[in-house]
Amino acid sequence: MQVTVWNEGLHERAKPEMAEIYPDGIHGAIADALRSALPDAEVRTGTLDEPHQGLPPELLDRTEVLLWWGHRAHEQVEDGLVDRIAARVLGGMGLLVLHSGHYSKVFRKLMGTTCSLAWRNEGERELVWTTDPSHPIAAGVDQPIVIGEQEMYGEPFDIPSPDEVVFISSFAGGEVFRSGVTFRRGRGRVFYFSPGDEAYPVYRHPQIQRVLANAVRWAMPGAPVVAPARAVKTPRADWHD
Amino acid sequence: MQVTVWNEGLHERAKPEMAEIYPDGIHGAIADALRSALPDAEVRTGTLDEPHQGLPPELLDRTEVLLWWGHRAHEQVEDGLVDRIAARVLGGMGLLVLHSGHYSKVFRKLMGTTCSLAWRNEGERELVWTTDPSHPIAAGVDQPIVIGEQEMYGEPFDIPSPDEVVFISSFAGGEVFRSGVTFRRGRGRVFYFSPGDEAYPVYRHPQIQRVLANAVRWAMPGAPVVAPARAVKTPRADWHD
Amino acid sequence: MQVTVWNEGLHERAKPEMAEIYPDGIHGAIADALRSALPDAEVRTGTLDEPHQGLPPELLDRTEVLLWWGHRAHEQVEDGLVDRIAARVLGGMGLLVLHSGHYSKVFRKLMGTTCSLAWRNEGERELVWTTDPSHPIAAGVDQPIVIGEQEMYGEPFDIPSPDEVVFISSFAGGEVFRSGVTFRRGRGRVFYFSPGDEAYPVYRHPQIQRVLANAVRWAMPGAPVVAPARAVKTPRADWHD
Amino acid sequence: MQVTVWNEGLHERAKPEMAEIYPDGIHGAIADALRSALPDAEVRTGTLDEPHQGLPPELLDRTEVLLWWGHRAHEQVEDGLVDRIAARVLGGMGLLVLHSGHYSKVFRKLMGTTCSLAWRNEGERELVWTTDPSHPIAAGVDQPIVIGEQEMYGEPFDIPSPDEVVFISSFAGGEVFRSGVTFRRGRGRVFYFSPGDEAYPVYRHPQIQRVLANAVRWAMPGAPVVAPARAVKTPRADWHD
């Protein structure tokens, strides 16, 4: 299992209090959690300020599941990189889009919608309810997951109708949000999971870590990742033979 | 538009306080609201204690949209009647299943699942959020609808994956529920809408009345209701002619 | 992996020519194929004429994936057995419904629709096209699978909108059919697969055998099968603690 | 009803034989058919060689349903125009994408996938089967629609799982194709319909014309088209008041 955790990595530098929560960055915290939960996985990280914006071709080309966290720098991610990521998803790579990644170029490109939502950042309690208890992403997960402080994300969430709704959250302020949803795009599996603002230690929450590990397993391609499909002219066959 | 509102009608008699909320029964309150909102509709009512359990064949056979409210007496509804209702839905009749009707024989028959849920009746505030603002059932509806007191219904709601999720509710206690969901079954359209316990005046709420009127319009068959489909032996055709 | 192949087993006796195609019955042919493809599986069979109609409680209770083939004797299957099978599916058991099993009591009960279709039995060539090449049920399957002689099943197929359409077939006469479709019902996974009439050696076709083995793997419950969900009264929690 | 039929309009000039089939272009033939079927509609046309590539802002801004036919010149359509069309769909405008429009920039942008397919152009008979007989787009449509000569489009069709599959086609060569599929994107309704190559008089076929008229009615926005959704910061409300 070749897993790469990408994080724009800007908040960590700008906000000293964040360095306390995530001394190795959001990507470091998630990568550590995945390494513990998935001993068979090779987990790498990438950040925006690294060469090739953290995803050089040789890394992307061997990644089987990519996790994506971004917030402030969505527009800085180069279109060419976004195209390569999307192409790899369509060819079979799994993609986990986290929290404010709902507005990333790659998620909007794969969804085709605005991916807009309602929001408010006041450190509210979030409850993450499982709506599909037999889904592998929900295996062993508390009902509900209780997150003490979190940014509120609320409906309407402007996404295509998901293939599966695994989690729905409520917030102390009363809002609701489809917080865990799946989509197949091409040959790839996409999971969007909203818990995880940079201001709260959400990715240190054991239950959130469990969901991410479950989702990596779920998103693994069942076959080698291929080039995305293209229209093929086919000869006429005589199927009677 | 031929609309019939069916209600088991037992709570109204047993609980004097309910007679204050619904002097003409739940069916009477809903029927009045529909008559006001849908001047073109002929709205009839039926209750369990009437001949043919309130749905004689001639009434069912001309009903284009049926609303169903039941709670205590699900098991008293005769299987033959349930079969006739389900057959008419499969042939094109619209069906609106209300609140505790999630456990009615006809809804379980059409869903094929247990239709179970979590619940608690403590008069909690419910917020009904629209997740699909362009859906005709949500036209002109507040975001959210605020219901001061309501029974809590919570996830997991054991239904097949709905065709559309129009509303998701939160409750003061923090639970969430897919409170407005659609299903096509055969040629008929089914809408389940959870707000509406007998102990609270929910069906007097103008926003709830609007949802019901919208849903009746949405569930109207586009063509005459027919007998449900049956397997048909077809001759071999030569489509080249 | 505890797998049970159920077959009504009537055609095999009535038609001597069928005994040539399936000397051990349809169930025997399928069970042999699964044993070869899935060495870890314990594969048992059951037929209508056996005690408990071939599915005694102790067998059903340990079955993780059940395959169901029936045609002439759907109505002879006892309602109590049908209820127990459906309950086990809702609790997590996988179910593969084969060919004329579209009209079985258990499939109609889980779908809630008539499950009717168009048909013609003239030994026509069927082509089974994969529409979702990344689906595990389609792994390693020819595009298309060519079946020389088969009963035609055609649209409209009166089922709820499937969760996934894996295969669509065409027939020499020009008809089309959603021949491989999935549904989650409760905690269980259901796969309907239409190729497989009793008059043709379809279950000896290596590609059909591959689909069935893939589907058994896909339908395996991810956790122990439980009793189907029931409505649960929940106390009010104070999630702030 | 404000309807606009857009056509790149290149084949008509390059191929004299096409001018016989469509003397007023594909757009002219479709517009005429819609004017006959929908007397309440104002139907306009646009082509690539016109100012603003045939869709000046004032025309796009009043269009309620847009039909799109393109083939050779997909890449010539300006990205800015594609963005404006997509934004208008997300805000509520209906969009009908026809035949080779599967590869148009706007359809790929809204789908997020490659939209690739298999194809062969040998003038084969296509049969268009209705899989959802109660769908308004299929109202009054033959089962099947028989098209004498047509380009073959075959599975796998690399699109997201459609909200609804209304039609599935077979071809003389044995292939199948989901030829009529719906998607909601944002507030807008999208219908892709594959019959209609430039080399055959498919848009003169009364049944194809009926489908297009039905689809225009179905895709009409139920409310004024708005700007697409954007993330909104919401104040905390006290819903108890």
Cβ-contact A95, A66 below 8 angstroms:
yes
**B239 vs D146: CB contact, 8 Å cut-off?**
yes
The interface predicted TM-score of the complex, written ipTM, equals 0.96
Q: How far is C160 from chain A (nearest CA, A)?
A: 15
Interface membership of D169 toward C (CB under 8 Å): yes
Average pLDDT over residues A49-64: 98
- Closest residue by Cα to residue A145 from A126, A130, A128, A131: A128
Give the E-state strand segments of B80-231 in sequence order: 94-98, 118-130, 145-154, 164-171, 176-185, 188-193
Query: What's the CATH class of domain B2-112+179-219?
Result: alpha beta
The pLDDT score that the predictor gives to residue A240 is 55
The pLDDT score that the predictor gives to residue D5 is 98
Lowest mean pLDDT among C8-12, C155-159, C227-231, D175-179: C8-12
Q: Which CATH number fits domain A2-112+178-219: 3.40.50.880, 3.40.50.150, 3.40.50.1970, 3.40.50.2300?
A: 3.40.50.880
Average pLDDT over residues C221-239: 92
The pLDDT score that the predictor gives to residue C107 is 98
Interface partners of chain C (CB pairs < 8 Å, 3 or more) are A, B, D
Interface membership of D236 toward B (CB under 8 Å): no
Question: Would you place residue D208 in the very low, low, confident or very high pLDDT band (cuts 50, 70, 90)?
Answer: very high
Measured distance CA(C212)–CA(B68) in Å, rounded: 41
**D92 vs B134: CB contact, 8 Å cut-off?**
yes
Measured distance CA(B116)–CA(B156) in Å, rounded: 8
Per residue in D80-91, pLDDT (tens digit) is: 999 999 999 999
* Beta-carbon-side half-sphere exposure of residue C144 (alpha carbons within 13 Å): 32
Which of D88, D134, D170 is the mutation pick for testing B, counting most B CBs within 10 A? D134
The pLDDT score that the predictor gives to residue C240 is 54
The pLDDT score that the predictor gives to residue C19 is 83
Question: Would you place residue A13 in the very low, low, confident or very high pLDDT band (cuts 50, 70, 90)?
Answer: confident
Question: Would you place residue D102 in the very low, low, confident or very high pLDDT band (cuts 50, 70, 90)?
Answer: very high
Question: Would you place residue D140 in the very low, low, confident or very high pLDDT band (cuts 50, 70, 90)?
Answer: very high
Instruction: Note which residues in 110-129 of chain B have CB less than 8 A from chain D.
Output: 125, 127
Question: Would you place residue B26 in the very low, low, confident or very high pLDDT band (cuts 50, 70, 90)?
Answer: very high
Residue among C127, C155, C164 whose CB faces D174 most closely: C127
Question: Would you place residue C197 in the very low, low, confident or very high pLDDT band (cuts 50, 70, 90)?
Answer: confident
- Closest residue by Cα to residue B166 from B141, B185, B187: B141
Q: Report CA torsion sign: D199, D200, D204, D206.
A: negative
Question: Would you place residue D198 in the very low, low, confident or very high pLDDT band (cuts 50, 70, 90)?
Answer: confident
**C188 vs A134: CB contact, 8 Å cut-off?**
yes
Asked: is D2-115+179-219 a CATH 3.20.20.70 domain? The reply is no
Query: What's the CATH class of domain C2-219?
Result: alpha beta
Cβ-contact D121, D197 below 8 angstroms:
yes
The pLDDT score that the predictor gives to residue D240 is 54
Residue among C132, C154, C156 whose CB faces D133 most closely: C156
Classify A73 as helix, strand or coil: coil
Per residue in B131-145, pLDDT (tens digit) is: 999 999 999 999 999
The pLDDT score that the predictor gives to residue D17 is 82
Residue A59 has pLDDT above 90, yes or no: yes
Classify B169 as helix, strand or coil: strand
The pLDDT score that the predictor gives to residue A19 is 83
Residue among A156, A163, A237 whose CB faces D174 most closely: A237
Per residue in B227-238, pLDDT (tens digit) is: 999 999 999 987
Give the orientation angle of helix B25-37 with respect to helix B206-219, to 10 degrees.
70
B104: which DSSP letter?
Answer: S
Per residue in C37-62, pLDDT (tens digit) is: 999 999 999 999 999 999 999 999 99
The pLDDT score that the predictor gives to residue D238 is 72
Instruction: Note which residues in 80-109 of chain C have CB less than 8 A from chain D.
Output: none
Per residue in A97-149, pLDDT (tens digit) is: 999 999 999 999 999 999 999 999 999 999 999 999 999 999 999 999 999 99
Interface membership of C131 toward D (CB under 8 Å): yes
**D112 vs A110: CB contact, 8 Å cut-off?**
yes
Which of A90, A113, A126, A158 is the mutation pick for testing D, counting most D CBs within 10 A? A113
Interface membership of C133 toward A (CB under 8 Å): yes
Residue C81 has pLDDT above 90, yes or no: yes
Residue D109 has pLDDT above 90, yes or no: yes
Average pLDDT over residues C11-35: 91
Instruction: Note which residues in 19-48 of chain B have CB less than 8 A from chain A.
Output: none
Q: How far is C175 from chain B (nearest CA, A)?
A: 10
Interface membership of B144 toward A (CB under 8 Å): yes
Q: How far is C174 from chain D (nearest CA, A)?
A: 6
Q: Report CA torsion sign: D75, D81, D84, D89.
A: negative
Question: Would you place residue A238 in the very low, low, confident or very high pLDDT band (cuts 50, 70, 90)?
Answer: confident
Interface partners of chain D (CB pairs < 8 Å, 3 or more) are A, B, C
Measured distance CA(A127)–CA(A75) in Å, rounded: 31
Backbone angles phi, psi at A120, to 5 degrees: -165, 130
Residue D239 has pLDDT above 90, yes or no: no
